[in-house]
Amino acid sequence: MQQPYEPTADRSAGGDRTGRGAGAARVLVVDDDPTVAEVVSGYLDRAGYVVDRAGDGPTALASATVHWPDLVVLDLMLPGMDGLEVCRRMRDRGPVPVIMLTARGDEDDRILGLEVGADDYVTKPFSPRELVLRVESVLRRTRPTAGVRPLDSAGLTVDPAARRATKNGGELALTLREFDLLAFFLRHPGRAYSREDLMNEVWGWDFGDLSTVTVHVRRLRNKVEDDPARPRLIQTVWGVGYRFDPAGTSAQGEE
């Protein structure tokens, strides 16, 4: 069970593992609770990240204009402009990974966060150490992979080295997790994977909310399928999970 954040928690945890410098990743922490923002920022700072803070949506957007972040830790419940709108506006400006902070039990809000493009979420109360690990995991996946050949199937091309995906030559605007999910499907055509399998292989988690996978599959279908309501490439295998079929031989309803 997760432990709540505490202002008096061990402030030596995490350590300066990455080393701050010109190449250090920049994280924007957006939360209107100064205690939460201070604790989260402190842990990220000691882990080697450059940290910017904002207490509301407009301030966060202004901060991103000055220093575009490598990742955003974004509270869902913000005064005035909520986290969903902040996420939408940042996505309109450019690709950036988003980890959303949500209240425990607000499943509909978490799903909405994933629908607008959040890559991950953490429920309050949470362990700051776990949040740092999530940040590290997400940023690790954003780094280009040198020496990996592009994947090409069914009119889709994924270039892991350039972090670029296209459909019939046209650029696909994919979030971090959507990109990784599509790359995984292209690497393993014709095989059915459960949501648990996908969470482990794509997200790197041994456990978690499986609705995360469902939402990302739905979003990916909206971008790669000719008719997302009748998907032919990313098919639902009832009672199992999902399968990528390059031939698109049969259409099934969306789960």
Strand runs (DSSP E) across 69-224, as ranges? 71-75, 98-103, 120-124, 151-153, 156-159, 164-167, 170-171, 192-193
How far apart are the C-alpha atoms of 116 and 92, rounded to whole Å?
A: 11
Residue that is last in its domain, among 96, 113, 142:
142
The total of structural domains in the chain comes to 2
Residue that is last in its domain, among 119, 142, 165:
142
Asked whether residue 99 falls in the same domain as residue 80, the answer is yes
The predicted structure's pLDDT at residue 55: 95
The predicted structure's pLDDT at residue 7: 33
Residue 7 lies in a domain: no
Asked whether residue 193 falls in the same domain as residue 155, the answer is yes
The predicted structure's pLDDT at residue 118: 81
The predicted structure's pLDDT at residue 204: 78
Residue 90 lies in a domain: yes
Residue 72 lies in a domain: yes
Domain residue limits at 79: 26-142
- Can you give the pLDDT of all 255 residues of the chain as single tens digits? 333 333 323 333 333 334 455 578 999 999 999 999 999 999 999 999 999 999 999 999 999 999 999 999 999 989 889 999 999 899 888 888 999 898 765 667 667 777 777 888 888 888 888 899 889 888 887 776 666 788 999 999 999 888 889 999 999 988 888 999 999 999 999 999 999 999 889 887 766 678 889 989 999 999 999 999 999 999 999 999 999 999 876 545 455
Asked whether residue 135 falls in the same domain as residue 169, the answer is no
Residue that is last in its domain, among 142, 168, 197:
142
CATH number of the domain encompassing residue 239 = 1.10.10.10
Asked whether residue 45 falls in the same domain as residue 136, the answer is yes
- The label of the residue with tokens 């205690």 reads 35
The predicted structure's pLDDT at residue 14: 37
CATH number of the domain encompassing residue 136 = 3.40.50.2300
Residue 1 lies in a domain: no
The predicted structure's pLDDT at residue 191: 95
How far apart are the C-alpha atoms of 164 and 118, rounded to whole Å?
A: 19
Asked whether residue 118 falls in the same domain as residue 97, the answer is yes
The predicted structure's pLDDT at residue 176: 83
Residue 214 lies in a domain: yes
Residue 123 lies in a domain: yes
Asked whether residue 128 falls in the same domain as residue 181, the answer is no
Residue 99 lies in a domain: yes
The predicted structure's pLDDT at residue 148: 76
Asked whether residue 185 falls in the same domain as residue 160, the answer is yes
Show the tokens assigned to 1: 């069970």
Asked whether residue 78 falls in the same domain as residue 156, the answer is no
The predicted structure's pLDDT at residue 6: 37
Residue 250 lies in a domain: no
Asked whether residue 128 falls in the same domain as residue 172, the answer is no
Asked whether residue 102 falls in the same domain as residue 199, the answer is no
Show the tokens assigned to 49: 């990240």
Element (H, E) at 246: none
Strand runs (DSSP E) across the chain, as ranges? 26-30, 50-54, 71-75, 98-103, 120-124, 151-153, 156-159, 164-167, 170-171, 192-193, 234-237, 241-244
Asked whether residue 121 falls in the same domain as residue 36, the answer is yes
The predicted structure's pLDDT at residue 116: 75
Asked whether residue 74 falls in the same domain as residue 181, the answer is no
The predicted structure's pLDDT at residue 124: 84
* DSSP output for 136-152: HHHHHHHS--TTPPPEE
